[in-house]
Structure 1
Amino acid sequence: MSESAAPNPYAAPASNLQEIPNGQVPSIAEALSRGYDFTISDVIGEAWQRVKGTKGIIIGGFLIFYIAMLLATFVLGFVLGMVGLLNESSPGSMMVGQLVISLLGSAVTYPFLAGINMIGIRRAADQPVSFNEMFSHFGRFVPLLLTGLLMTALIYVGLLLLILPGIYLSVAYMLAIPLAVERGLSPWEALETSRKAISQHWFKAFGLFLVLGLIMGVSALALGIGLIWTLPLFVIAIGVLYRIIFGVLPPAN
Structure 2
Amino acid sequence: MSESTAPNPYAAPSSNLQEAPSGQVPTIAEALSRGYDFNIGDLLSEAWQRVKGTKGIIIGGFIVFYVALFAATAVLGFIFGGLASEDNIAGIIIAQLIITVLASALSYPFLAGLNMVGIRRAADQPVSFNEIFSHFGRLVPLLITAIVMMILVYVGMLLLIIPGIYLSVAYMLAIPLVVERGLSPWQALETSRKAISQHWFKVFGLFLLLGIIMGLSMIPVGIGLIWTIPLFIISMGVLYRTIFGVLPPAN
Q: TM-score range by the shorter chain?
A: 0.7 to 0.9
| Counterpart contact for 1:32–1:197, Cα < 8 Å | yes
- Per-residue Cα deviation, 1:208-248 (whole angstroms, up to 9, x for no partner): 11100111111111111111111110000000000000000
- Per-residue Cα deviation, 1:151-199 (whole angstroms, up to 9, x for no partner): 2222222223332222211111110110000000011111111111111
In structure 2, the partner of 1:228 is 226
In structure 1, the partner of 2:31 is 31
| Counterpart contact for 1:18–1:248, Cα < 8 Å | no
**1:48 corresponds to 2:48:** yes
| Counterpart contact for 1:156–1:166, Cα < 8 Å | yes
| Counterpart contact for 2:83–2:92, Cα < 8 Å | no
Q: SS where residue 108 of structure 1 aligns?
A: helix
Going from structure 1 to structure 2, the CA distance change for 1:108 and 1:30 (only over 3 Å counts) comes to same
Structure 2 CA distance, aligned partners of 1:197 and 1:97? 40
| Aligned residue pair count | 233
**1:178 corresponds to 2:164:** no
1:121 to 115, 119, 122: 119
Going from structure 1 to structure 2, the CA distance change for 1:203 and 1:68 (only over 3 Å counts) comes to farther
| Counterpart contact for 1:77–1:101, Cα < 8 Å | yes
In structure 1, the partner of 2:244 is 246
Please list every run of 5 or more consecutive structure 1 residues that lacks an aligned counterpart in the other structure: 1-15
In structure 1, the partner of 2:5 is none
**TM-score between the two structures when normalised by the length of structure 1:** 0.83
Superposition CA RMSD, Å: 2.3
Structure 1 CA distance, aligned partners of 2:79 and 2:163? 34
**How far is 1:138 from its partner?**
1.8
**How far is 1:147 from its partner?**
1.3
Going from structure 1 to structure 2, the CA distance change for 1:233 and 1:87 (only over 3 Å counts) comes to farther
| Identical-pair percentage | 71
| Counterpart contact for 2:153–2:168, Cα < 8 Å | yes
- Per-residue Cα deviation, 1:15-53 (whole angstroms, up to 9, x for no partner): x85951xxx311111111111111111110110010111
**1:111 corresponds to 2:109:** yes
Structure 2 CA distance, aligned partners of 1:80 and 1:174? 33
In structure 1, the partner of 2:83 is 83
**1:70 corresponds to 2:70:** yes
| Counterpart contact for 1:44–1:237, Cα < 8 Å | yes
Structure 1 CA distance, aligned partners of 2:20 and 2:26? 8
Structure 1 CA distance, aligned partners of 2:99 and 2:22? 45
Structure 2 CA distance, aligned partners of 1:244 and 1:203? 16
Going from structure 1 to structure 2, the CA distance change for 1:199 and 1:101 (only over 3 Å counts) comes to farther
Structure 2 CA distance, aligned partners of 1:67 and 1:161? 38
**TM-score between the two structures when normalised by the length of structure 2:** 0.84
Structure 2 CA distance, aligned partners of 1:202 and 1:144? 23
In structure 1, the partner of 2:129 is 131
1:119 maps to amino acid: V
**How far is 1:140 from its partner?**
1.4
| Counterpart contact for 2:174–2:192, Cα < 8 Å | yes
In structure 1, the partner of 2:61 is 61
Alignment of 1:176-215 (within 5 A): 176-215=174-213
| Counterpart contact for 1:18–1:247, Cα < 8 Å | no
**How far is 1:69 from its partner?**
3.4
